[in-house]
A and B are shown apart, each in its own frame.
Chain A
Amino acid sequence: MSKLKALARKVFLLDILQGLAVTLRLYFSKKSTVPYPEKVKLPAERFRGIARLYRDEKGEPLCIACKLCQHVCGTKCFDIEGERDAASKRMKPVKFDWKLERCSFCSLCVEVCPTRAIRFSREFRMAAVDKGSLLFHLPEMYLNGEDLQNFLCAGCRE
């Protein structure tokens, strides 16, 4: 019986028709394409976008310049110098150079930071036109959203 079935399959091109039926059904299926840039699909909460420095609720920088991120980074992205703030007696960074071009997004710096100062944002649009835009100094590490895009695209804004 199965031999007869195989023969019928062969003669009546049933395997061909089966394949055509599958693609016909999928022709009418709903497409999952997101019309970028009109709609931007926001990545997951834990998504490793560009690394940013954050401030606490009072607006004070969380970074205490402990340089743990600099030590743990395998690709030498960081160059940090800190000093003790005279008023609050906390350490704060005076120099925080971060190279986006070297970052491998491994998340070791984020996980090692004791104050959760450096974290990944959900920003995935990190393209720049010249390499200078890929070096972030201390104030630029706090940029987000539109300001960040302006900084990155500064080279091509004609």
Chain B
Amino acid sequence: MAFKDIELNMGPQHPSTHGVLRLKLTVDNEVVLKVEPVIGYLHRGMEKLWENLTYTQIVPLTDRLDYLAALSNNLAFALTVEKLAGIEVPKRGRYIRIVLAELQRLASHLAWAGFMANDIGAMSVLLYGFEAREDILDVFEEYIGARLTVHGIRIGGVPRDLDEALVSRIRGVLSGIPRRLKDIRALLDENRIWKQRTVGIGLISAAEALDFGLTGPALRASGVNWDLRKSIPYSSYDEMDFDVPLGSRGDVYDRYLVRMAEIEQSIRIVNQALDKLPPGEFMAKVPRVLKIAPGQVFQTIEAPKGVLGFTIKSNGTDKPERVKMKSPSFINLQSLEHMCRGNLFSDVVGILGSMDIVLGEIDK
């Protein structure tokens, strides 16, 4: 019995497809020929639902899109509404947004590291990553009350101020993360088994990545220097000093290294923002019933998974006419076939893990 052109199904229920994703694989003796992702198992009709809700009511629901990085979704939506309505967020609000968004990036990357390592077999790293993430979620809990569906960034600014106690709490948490990161890196970075599973796997060149519309750390691992925080800065990111880690080969190992380096850069950004926190208001004056004149705008941010954007078309009422979300995972998933072709079937899991997709974003 030869395994010629067998269609294998990594079904919706699978320990390693990060959510309910179905992958129809065509393999020839373990070498992957075709990958067809089948999505939609988590479709909740968000974009249609939002047409019946006011802008303020939509913000908590955006948490549920990329549920591992809720604040980024809040931020993207809030920025789009502010651009459409012409609301100017005060400086302190922008800085607190930076702190929250970067903490969320930390949490998202730590969860990603855990899941990817677990898929490849190093199960302890999952627990270590999540233990580090717990500290950050505790900070969110103390800040605004929720850990996962945080709803901590609103239209016009942030709902609460970062007082002295919270600032020192955040600094304490940040000082504990490098130690855990060192443990995870000691277990994975130089490990020969890890390198055998990740170096040279899932290659995508810079030109191909741009063709596929890949964004986020996966694009930067292929060598393209495109980070919206530097290229099209939003929310005072241009006042922060940080590096954008780049890879060279565009394989799984580079994506891993890029994200680990991004964790360190995020720690740096948060410390800077806390140092430079200006006094003043943290929330702009937004009318209680926010009616926006007819118009359409598109705004993107650099979410942990890639470029996250919202298009909002308003029609003069307090409810949007149409909201369209550009989710990074949806677009990144398209390049999965290209990355997997020619690799072995066992590598699909590693490549999928390195792309860092979240089904909530893909299916909305």
Asked if B192 contacts A16 (CB within 8 A), the reply is yes
- Of the candidates B57, B142, B183, the one whose C-beta lies within 8 Å of that of A74 is B57
State the Cβ distance, A124 to closest chain B Cβ, in Å: 11
In the assembled complex, the Cα of A1 lies from the Cα of B143 at a distance in Å of 50
Chain B residue at minimum C-beta to C-beta distance from A32: B131
Q: Is A131 interfacial (CB-CB < 8 Å)?
A: no
Query: Which residues of A have CB within 8 Å of B192?
Result: 10, 15-16
Known contacts A22-B183, A26-B183: A44-B142 contact under CB 8 Å = yes
Known contacts A15-B192, A104-B61, A106-B151: A48-B187 contact under CB 8 Å = no
- Of the candidates B53, B128, B145, B151, the one whose C-beta lies within 8 Å of that of A47 is B145
Asked if B60 contacts A108 (CB within 8 A), the reply is yes
Asked if A44 contacts B138 (CB within 8 A), the reply is yes
Query: Which residues of B have CB within 8 Å of A26?
Result: 124, 128, 183
In the assembled complex, the Cα of A20 lies from the Cα of B60 at a distance in Å of 43
Q: Is A70 interfacial (CB-CB < 8 Å)?
A: no
In the assembled complex, the Cα of A105 lies from the Cα of B187 at a distance in Å of 38
State the interface size on chain A (CB cutoff 8 A): 26
Q: Which of B60-79 contact A (CB under 8 A)?
A: 60-61
Q: Is A107 interfacial (CB-CB < 8 Å)?
A: yes
Q: Is A35 interfacial (CB-CB < 8 Å)?
A: no
In the assembled complex, the Cα of A32 lies from the Cα of B145 at a distance in Å of 21
In the assembled complex, the Cα of A9 lies from the Cα of B191 at a distance in Å of 10
State the Cβ distance, A2 to closest chain B Cβ, in Å: 13
Q: Is A72 interfacial (CB-CB < 8 Å)?
A: yes
Main secondary structure of the interface of B (DSSP, over half): helix
Asked if A106 contacts B186 (CB within 8 A), the reply is no
State the Cβ distance, A34 to closest chain B Cβ, in Å: 12
State the Cβ distance, A52 to closest chain B Cβ, in Å: 14
In the assembled complex, the Cα of A19 lies from the Cα of B191 at a distance in Å of 8
In the assembled complex, the Cα of A47 lies from the Cα of B148 at a distance in Å of 12
In the assembled complex, the Cα of A47 lies from the Cα of B144 at a distance in Å of 7
Asked if A46 contacts B143 (CB within 8 A), the reply is yes
Query: Which residues of B have CB within 8 Å of A47?
Result: 141, 145-146
- Of the candidates B124, B142, B190, the one whose C-beta lies within 8 Å of that of A15 is B190
Query: Which residues of A have CB within 8 Å of B54?
Result: 74
Query: Which residues of B have CB within 8 Å of A108?
Result: 56-57, 60
In the assembled complex, the Cα of A47 lies from the Cα of B141 at a distance in Å of 6
Chain A residue at minimum C-beta to C-beta distance from B138: A44
Query: Which residues of A have CB within 8 Å of B186?
Result: 18-19, 22
Q: Is A111 interfacial (CB-CB < 8 Å)?
A: yes
Asked if A15 contacts B183 (CB within 8 A), the reply is no
State the Cβ distance, B74 to closest chain A Cβ, in Å: 11
Show 13 residue pairs from A and B whose CB-CB distance is below 8 angstroms, ordered by the A residue: A10-B192, A15-B191, A16-B192, A18-B186, A22-B186, A26-B124, A44-B141, A47-B141, A48-B145, A106-B57, A106-B61, A106-B149, A107-B146
- Chain A positions near chain B (C-beta within 8 angstroms): 9-10, 15-16, 18-19, 22-23, 26, 32, 43-48, 72-74, 104-108, 111, 120
